Amino acid sequence: MNALVPLPVLLPLCATGLSLAFGTRLKQLQRLISVAVLTAVLGLSVTLMIAADMRGPLTVHLGDFAPPLGITLVADRLSGLMLTVSSAVTLCVLVYSLGQGMADREEETPVAVFHPAYLILVAGVSCTFLAGDLVNLYVGFEIMLVASFVLLTLGGTGPRIRAGSTYVIISLFSSMLFLTAIAMTYAATGTANFAQLAGRLAGLPLGVQTLIQAMLLTVFAIKAAVFPLAAWLPDSYPTAPAPVTAVFAGLLTKVGVYCMLRTETLLFPGNRLGDLLMAAALASMVVGILGAVAQTDLKRLLSFTLISHIGYMVFGIGLATRDAYGGAIVYVAHHITVQTTLFLVAGLIERRSGTTELTRIGGLAKAAPLLAALFFVPAMNLAGIPPLSGFIGKLGLMRAGVADGGVWAWILVVGSAVTSLLTLYVTAKVWNLAFWRAAPPGQAATGTVLEADSDEDDDGDEGPDRIPGTGDEPVRPRHQPAGRAVAATLHGHAVTTTTKLPLPMTGATAATVALGLAFTVFAGPLTSYTDRAAAELIARAPYVQAVLGR
Amino acid sequence: MTVSVSLLATAAVLCAVGGILMLTRPLTRILLGAVIAGNGINLLVLAAGGRAGAEPLLYGVPLGRVTDPLPQAIALTAIVITLATTAFLLAMAYRSHQLTGTDEVHDDQEDRRIALRSEVRGERDELRERYRATDEVTAEERTRYREERRRLRARLRADRALQARGRDATGDLWHDVLGADPEDYAAQQDRPDADPGATG
């Protein structure tokens, strides 16, 4: 069973090689490989989760080198759950991107690069979840980051380069900070292995411990987009293609949260920086949701709600009780799913109506009822309407806060209730503008161009004030008033447009919605599992024993 | 553990230089900063291994006196990763130069828009107040007032175009290689009429 542990990292990496080898010549085969591998990873993750739950943490020392020399991979309950949720979500997003075919702007988005980069991203995420030492965690981060650089700047258009440069520089900086923290830890303790560090860090002077803890927290807070370190996120995510944004928003920030959870419990028990974490959590919640209130573009708005809801998980980590950790883990699983779904729906809306600017769309509830349902469920889930999983996560966290009873805990309980209400306001605003109100004239009937009879040279008649590659004005949407799949003319060329959404796109979105609902239906098993995971995190001994073998 | 002061001092200087370079606008300078600071941090990692020991030859060297190999392995990994990131940043700087004529990192669009809007509004209100305060409005004053209003509107438009296109390269070699200095923008912004973006 232990031999299965490295596979979630190895399989996608091997598939990347195949994918690159086949390249663009055998597109179908490339797609088949990606889907098959991610399905296999999903199956493996479920197996690992169940095995870790039944037998305790599974460990592998690669090359059979004992720690601290070798690389250690560990799958315990927390990593098992994270792996399962992340691989389910990545599989859905992959199917979605196949349906989209990246066809919205084919010339700007080379598919041949998308598949290998996406697989490497999955490998990097799995590697961070399984890493049993700081160095391997760093390597996992870097694998993930380099793939995300490529995905974020896919096609290298003006806005993407502009948004990507901020992201790349911030990531570069946080990697340097991480490496410095690793150097400090190694100099102080002589190891980078989590299980050994758990024993050795406690013997260090308090100042050194706090310094290392603060540096690691800063690194992970940049990744997780906790408030004072979150300014890069709303500017860099929304310009990427919809599936890329969805998987980034769902997964990459949660990787930061996972690392915080892991290091705070295993390496630095005793919760010395709990108040600081709770203050940051409150600031993230409030600032993030107020930012979302002010936005009129759906993608930017969702980016701000993402920052806001990271605050809930940090709240759980700051409380540091068993119930709080359990609530935070439920919330991570819930939020990965729901945030990904919402970004996928944003992509569907963009496909359907040509834009995600809320002031320019309307009447979608009537024009596309299925789309409306696909938006409504995760939106309510995000706001935390009972009985959906968002409610369960928030309830768990608030109960833990009340049980803690401290001043900060109470402030956070009130803050999270207010944030929840404001989230409801934001989602209701989106619902009213995009779906419920009457369509603005000339909007309801627009669709995407399916085919054109000749190469479009629509650059000539755009007037002098349109500048190519602008970030300011939206790229001129290639759509035209039309009914369902009818021919029309665009700049003198006959084109066929459709308002139908491709089946894989809606299917994948529906699958993520169903996954979100499954958390509600199976809330009992889920919460008892997360409770056991939290107990394991707090106990520390099972992890340390599994790695060091005593 | 013994630590070499010269290693630490070198690392500190490299990190400081790199940090300063990373605070500038042009991507090429940031790239240089990242490389220099990355080297500094690699030195820190090496310093974490303690003092240099005996050569790790196969026979005749007691294992306890050999240098700790783990920090060296970490530093090697970091070097490889820095290389990949450097290549990516270079490609991005080049692409940015291709698209916009400069490799600057631009402000968040909303920040720019909000700052400029408030500035222009302030000026407009001031202008209006001064205009209203004058008792007798001559035709000449009225045209001047309208001219000024038009100039402000043109400035907003110019900024939108400028921000969309990025600033044009000036043709100065050092300027293009290293990127412009902030002072140059101040000079450029003082005369918005001469701006290349004003016509756009």
- CA A313 – CA A327 distance, rounded (Å): 8
Kindly state whether residues A81 and A53 are assigned to the same domain.
yes
Check residue B115 and give its pLDDT. 79
Q: Which of A125-129, A275-279, B48-52 has the lowest mean pLDDT?
A: B48-52
Amino acid at A524: G
Check residue B190 and give its pLDDT. 53
Whether A211 has its CB under 8 Å from any CB of chain B: the answer is no
* Residue B161: band (very low, low, confident or very high) from pLDDT cuts 50, 70, 90: low
Q: Indicate if the pLDDT at residue A391 is higher than 50.
A: yes
Shortest Cα distance, chain B CAs vs residue A165, angstroms: 7
- CA B12 – CA B36 distance, rounded (Å): 11
Check residue A457 and give its pLDDT. 40
Shortest Cα distance, chain B CAs vs residue A278, angstroms: 28
CB within 8 Å: B85 and A172: yes
User: What mean pLDDT comes out for the span A337-357?
Assistant: 86
pLDDT in tens, A249-276: 989 999 999 999 999 999 988 888 889 9
Q: Indicate if the pLDDT at residue A171 is higher than 90.
A: yes
CB < 8 Å to A187, chain B = 1, 3, 47-48
Please state, in angstroms and as integers, the Cα–Cα distance from residue A269 to each residue in A190, A279, A317, A433, following that order. Answer: 20, 19, 11, 47
Q: Are A98 and A32 in contact (CB under 8 A)?
A: no
Shortest Cα distance, chain A CAs vs residue B38, angstroms: 7
Q: What is the SS3 assignment for A472?
A: coil
pLDDT in tens, A448-486: 555 544 444 443 333 333 333 333 433 344 444 333 444
Average model confidence (pLDDT) for chain A? 84
CB pairs under 8 A between A and B: 112
| A461 inside domain | no
- A448: part of which helix (H) or strand (E)? strand A446-452
Check residue B151 and give its pLDDT. 84
pLDDT in tens, B122-154: 888 888 888 888 777 788 888 888 888 888 888
Check residue A550 and give its pLDDT. 60
CB < 8 Å to A175, chain B = 81, 85
- Which residue does chain A place closest to B78, by CA atoms? A179
Q: Indicate if the pLDDT at residue A120 is higher than 80.
A: yes
Kindly state whether residues A286 and A305 are assigned to the same domain.
yes
Kindly state whether residues A246 and A191 are assigned to the same domain.
yes
Shortest Cα distance, chain B CAs vs residue A142, angstroms: 7
- CA A424 – CA A390 distance, rounded (Å): 12
CB within 8 Å: A183 and B1: no
Check residue A318 and give its pLDDT. 92
Kindly state whether residues A63 and A189 are assigned to the same domain.
yes
- Which residue does chain B place closest to A179, by CA atoms? B41
Q: What is the SS3 assignment for B3?
A: coil
Burial class (CB in 10 A: 0-12, 13-18, 19+), B33: buried
pLDDT in tens, A225-245: 998 898 888 888 888 888 899
| A90 inside domain | yes
- CA A108 – CA A534 distance, rounded (Å): 45
CB within 8 Å: B78 and A179: yes
Buried b (16+ CB within 10 A) or exposed e, A206-219: eeebeebbebbbbb
Shortest Cα distance, chain B CAs vs residue A318, angstroms: 30
Among candidate residues A36, A62, A48, the one with its CA nearest the CA of residue A5: A48
CB within 8 Å: B48 and A187: yes
What domain range includes position A484?
446-452+479-501
HEC assignment per residue over A213-236: HHHHHHHHHHHHCCHHHCCCHHHH
Q: Are A182 and B45 in contact (CB under 8 A)?
A: yes
Kindly state whether residues A339 and A483 are assigned to the same domain.
no
CB < 8 Å to B95, chain A = 153, 156, 161
Q: In the numeric block, which tokens belong to residue B174?
A: 């050092």
Q: What is the pTM of this model?
A: 0.84
| A465 inside domain | no
Domain count, chain A: 2
Helix, strand, coil content of chain B in percent (nearest 5): 75, 0, 25
- CA B55 – CA B96 distance, rounded (Å): 47
Four-point Cα dihedral B134, B137, B138, B140, nearest 10: 70
Q: What is the SS3 assignment for A159?
A: helix
Q: Indicate if the pLDDT at residue A497 is higher than 60.
A: no
CB within 8 Å: A231 and B108: yes
Kindly state whether residues A380 and A493 are assigned to the same domain.
no
Q: What is the SS3 assignment for A488?
A: strand
Q: Which of A70-79, A521-530, B13-22, B96-105 has the lowest mean pLDDT?
A: B96-105
Q: Which residue has the tokens 């098992």?
A: A80
Q: Indicate if the pLDDT at residue B180 is higher than 50.
A: no
Interior CA angle at A438 toward A434 and A442, to 5°? 90
Locate all alpha helices (DSSP H) within A267-321, ordered by sequence.
274-294, 298-319
Please state, in angstroms and as integers, the Cα–Cα distance from residue B141 to each residue in A386, B120, B148, following that order. Answer: 65, 20, 10
Four-point Cα dihedral A509, A512, A514, A518, nearest 10: -170
* Residue B173: band (very low, low, confident or very high) from pLDDT cuts 50, 70, 90: very low
Check residue B101 and give its pLDDT. 80
Check residue A19 and give its pLDDT. 85
Q: Which residue has the higher pLDDT, B40 or A270?
A: B40
Q: Which residue has the higher pLDDT, A414 or B191?
A: A414
Please state, in angstroms and as integers, the Cα–Cα distance from residue B86 to each residue in A137, A362, A370, B30, B130, following that order. Answer: 21, 45, 46, 10, 54
- Which residue does chain A place closest to B29, by CA atoms? A169
| Pairing outcome for strands A486-490 and A72-75 | unpaired
Check residue B105 and give its pLDDT. 78
Kindly state whether residues A494 and A385 are assigned to the same domain.
no
Whether A463 has its CB under 8 Å from any CB of chain B: the answer is no
Q: Which CATH number fits domain B5-100: 2.40.50, 3.40.50, 1.20.1530, 1.10.287?
A: 1.10.287
Dihedral sign for Cα atoms in the order B116, B122, B125, B126: negative
Q: Indicate if the pLDDT at residue A56 is higher than 50.
A: yes
CB count in 10 Å sphere of residue A228: 12
Q: Are A236 and A152 in contact (CB under 8 A)?
A: yes
Check residue B39 and give its pLDDT. 94
Q: Is residue A102 left, alpha or beta, with left meaning phi > 0 and alpha meaning psi from -120 to 50? A: left
| A460 inside domain | no
Q: In the numeric block, which tokens belong to residue A144?
A: 């993930």
Check residue A162 and give its pLDDT. 84
Q: Which of A449-458, B112-121, B129-138, B184-193 has the lowest mean pLDDT?
A: A449-458
Kindly state whether residues A144 and A125 are assigned to the same domain.
yes
Which residues, in sequence order, are CB contacts of A140 under 8 Å at separation 6+?
A124, A125, A126, A127, A128, A129, A130, A131
Dihedral sign for Cα atoms in the order A60, A64, A66, A72: negative
Check residue A129 and give its pLDDT. 95
| A468 inside domain | no
CB count in 10 Å sphere of residue B56: 11
Check residue B5 and give its pLDDT. 87
CB count in 10 Å sphere of residue B138: 9
User: What mean pLDDT comes out for the span B32-38?
Assistant: 94
| A459 inside domain | no
Kindly state whether residues A354 and A491 are assigned to the same domain.
no
Best-predicted range by mean pLDDT among A158-167, A190-199, B60-69, B179-188?
Answer: A190-199
Measured in degrees and rounded to the nearest 5, phi and psi for residue B25 equal -80, -50
- CA A186 – CA A193 distance, rounded (Å): 10
Check residue A474 and give its pLDDT. 38
Kindly state whether residues A525 and A497 are assigned to the same domain.
no
CB < 8 Å to B74, chain A = 135, 179, 182-183, 186, 192
Check residue A2 and give its pLDDT. 83
CB < 8 Å to A68, chain B = 70
Q: In the numeric block, which tokens belong to residue A173?
A: 């900086």
Kindly state whether residues A27 and A166 are assigned to the same domain.
yes
First to last CA, chain A: 19
First to last CA, chain B: 64
Kindly state whether residues A195 and A130 are assigned to the same domain.
yes
- Which residue does chain B place closest to A146, by CA atoms? B85
